[in-house]
Structure 1
């Protein structure tokens, strides 16, 4: 239990380790996508819409557009081929190098994303660089809003209580639960749910 004693109200944060099963779901066929102007996209067709229903990409007109992390995952899982404007295939390391120039934390973020996807959660971008991902309960994507907002904490770096309380307030206002993903030096991830408790006198 971690307690914030900086104000008169007694706020307790209870951390609960969520243990979930690895329930990776197999996919078939490969999406053919193009990389142009920093964006990975493909035409909207039966295959891309099948993946769209599973939480990959966002429909924009006649295209499905993928976030960098979604593209990395689909390429690594051999579910997508990405080519540039010269029709050259961009492999996983090529894309990682490109995206790392824009987001230096993308590798650590990708580790968390990949781990959650392999546990059969649908994961979408969050609302800020701190509340990095929205997580949908299994079987609820497209039916209900995301249940969790996830913040990533790196081993060896401080996470101030005031910042965690700020995240909790945001989650409370949005009717979501806060999850902390702690990434250690071996790139292993442990998940904690965090709750605010106002202890009455």
Structure 2
């Protein structure tokens, strides 16, 4: 089929096969194609609109997210999907956001798209033009831990608190057992102190640290997760800020922690995202990013 380029569209004579497979928009006896659709059809040998270089130059001028959007479009089509294009997104029965592995992801943009579509498939194009898909959604972050905490006395030791109260560890899984004592992290200690549960000797240094920006950034999320009835522990070994349990009845019989939670700034590189998801998958956990009071669950998916 021979077509032609007209300003923002490529045009072909009406064709039942193209209509049946969801290409373009029919207007009278013509089908008007998005530039990405036109390039796809020409590269597949099903139509010709111009010399390849001229066609690619036109597509690049008209499509901001080219070439990532093209490779995702092609991959989805090759998997048998009918695909529609809307701005920088692709649509099957879900919304897909194409992006290059060298780009950064804006969490404000993710928030905005999730508020519109409910779920989003981040579609990452690597240097070999292969596509990896990540489902993004806002999970229902709610634990089942009910705490009736005992009063605790402790001594501040530079970046943690030492207490003789073993129950706080054995029953509620705060801190780590150190001989006949329990060592609380400064996050745990300050949370208990704020709740009026912990009395600390030499608390001045703890209060100074608690005012630092980095501490406040992490503590805001720690406290929120605790208020959602989770058990929250360090996620350092897993490359995250926290690992999260829905419920712990005994430190001797720990269940599997379900989530890894990372506290993030406004943006993250796609490469860092990929590493984090892969690590979470390798230890059978779900990766959640905490940003600005919101939680975003990222999972690798097949499409």
TM range (shorter): 0.7 to 0.9
2:192 is the counterpart of 1:83 = no
Distance 1:106 1:181 in 2: 15
2:289 is the counterpart of 1:180 = yes
**Higher normalized helix content (fraction of residues):** 2
2:169 is the counterpart of 1:58 = no
Distance 1:76 1:18, change over 3 A: same
Distance 1:59 1:150 in 2: 23
Kept after mapping to 2: 8 A contact 1:59/1:65: yes
Kept after mapping to 2: 8 A contact 1:22/1:118: no
2:185 to 67, 85, 105: 67
1:171 to 280, 289, 295: 280
Distance 1:162 1:173 in 2: 17
Runs (5+) with no aligned partner, structure 1 = 85-89, 184-188
2:260 to 137, 149, 165: 149
Query: What secondary structure sits across from 2:273 in the alignment?
Result: helix
Query: What secondary structure sits across from 1:179 in the alignment?
Result: strand
Distance 1:23 1:176, change over 3 A: closer
Return the TM-score normalized by structure 1: 0.78
1:6 matched to which residue of 2?
126
Distance 2:229 2:264 in 1: 22
Query: What secondary structure sits across from 1:195 in the alignment?
Result: strand
- Could you say which structure has the larger radius of gyration? 2
2:227 to 96, 101, 118: 118
Distance 1:12 1:110 in 2: 31
Distance 2:125 2:159 in 1: 46
Distance 1:108 1:37 in 2: 20
Q: Once the two structures are superposed, what CA deviation does each residue of 1:30-57 show, in whole Å capped at 9, x if it has no partner?
A: 20000134431111xxxx3322121211
Distance 1:116 1:37, change over 3 A: closer
Question: Over aligned residue pairs, what C-alpha RMSD do you find?
Answer: 2.4
Return the TM-score normalized by structure 2: 0.54
2:150 is the counterpart of 1:17 = no
Q: Once the two structures are superposed, what CA deviation does each residue of 1:80-132 show, in whole Å capped at 9, x if it has no partner?
A: 01102xxxxx26xx52423566xx51111000000000111000001259511
2:276 is the counterpart of 1:195 = no
